[in-house]
């Protein structure tokens, strides 16, 4: 089965590295899966659905204000004609339409996991991402057509493309069959509210610094205890906010 990911954007070329590089690229090219389905990424250039003389997709906001706003009618046509009709969907109910916005749920590792397992791997609904630009999107389009909002955080990007790539790259790792070793995602930073313990490889000595002896002794129980202790130390040092959240959650 093919699971399609549709991306409505003014700049499809932004996504070239995501599709060509690494494990994510293999997944989105349909070369990695658990055998039940494969991904196929489809792009719709929003500008193709503009009927204006110069193929513009935006206009000045009513009521005044800086910048330009993406037009609802052009976005609707890109969604209905470029996705629903081109993809032979019986209705927009067959699609999960997403827009990245400050109003959205803040993206973190738990959200990425849920997104990967529940939305990307959904058995019946394909996913559509709307990549905004300029000052934003006409509210009427959002009210009628968008199902979900996500935000990477309290900062501004020039467009939604980088946000969508970040979401896809971090979420696809949790889709069954994408990572060769399931433990790779389970042992990552943030899975238990802590950042990852220090990692070492060859050479054993580097500029006078030795690999901790405990990692060379082969005593797995002691190594596990050392790793947990180091995770706590690293989190306390570099991300004390996470440690505070972890303590608060344990009390609750």
Catalytic residues: 102, 135, 173, 188
| Cβ-contact 161, 15 below 8 angstroms | yes
- Residue 156 annotated as binding site: yes
* Backbone torsion region of residue 204, taken as left when φ is above 0, otherwise alpha when ψ lies between -120 and 50, otherwise beta: alpha
- Residue 132 annotated as binding site: yes
- Residue 114 annotated as binding site: no
Closest CA to 188 of 170, 205, 206: 170
55: tokens are: 């193929």
- Residue 126 annotated as binding site: no
- Residue 153 annotated as binding site: yes
Closest CA to 46 of 67, 75, 16, 73: 75
- Residue 146 annotated as binding site: no
In 2-151, alpha helices (H): 16-20, 22-28, 72-79, 109-114, 139-145
CA distance 239 to 232: 10
Closest CA to 100 of 152, 35, 45: 152
- Residue 155 annotated as binding site: yes
Tokens 């489809």, residue?
42
Between strands 58-59 and 69-70, the pairing is antiparallel
- How far is Cα of residue 96 from the mean position of the Cα atoms in its chain? 15
Name the binding residues for S-adenosyl-L-methionine: 132, 152-157
Name the binding residues: 132, 152-157
């Amino acid at each position: 089965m093919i699971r399609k990911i549709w991306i409505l954007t003014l700049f499809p070329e932004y996504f070239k590295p995501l599709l060509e590089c690494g494990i994510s690229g293999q997944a989105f090219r349909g070369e990695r899966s658990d055998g039940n389905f494969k991904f196929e990424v489809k792009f719709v250039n929003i500008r193709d659905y503009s009927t204006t003389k110069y193929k513009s997709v935006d206009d000045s906001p009513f009521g005044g204000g800086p910048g330009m706003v993406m037009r609802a009618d052009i976005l609707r046509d890109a969604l209905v004609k470029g996705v629903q009709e081109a993809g032979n969907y019986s209705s927009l109910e067959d699609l999960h339409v997403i827009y990245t916005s400050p109003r959205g749920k803040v993206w973190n590792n738990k959200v990425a996991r849920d997104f990967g397992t529940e939305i990307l791997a959904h058995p019946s609904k394909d996913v559509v991402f709307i990549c905004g630009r300029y000052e934003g999107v006409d509210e009427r389009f959002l009210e009628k057509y968008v199902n979900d909002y996500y935000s990477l955080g309290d900062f501004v990007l020039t467009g939604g493309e980088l946000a969508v790539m970040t979401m896809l790259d971090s979420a696809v790792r949790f889709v069954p069959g994408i990572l060769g070793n399931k433990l790779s995602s389970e042992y990552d930073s943030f899975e238990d509210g802590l950042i990852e313990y220090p990692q070492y490889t060859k050479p054993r000595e580097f500029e006078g610094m030795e690999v901790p002896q405990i990692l060379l002794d082969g005593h797995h129980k002691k190594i596990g205890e050392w790793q947990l202790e180091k995770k706590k130390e690293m989190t306390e040092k570099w991300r004390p906010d996470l440690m505070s959240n972890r303590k608060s959650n344990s009390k609750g």
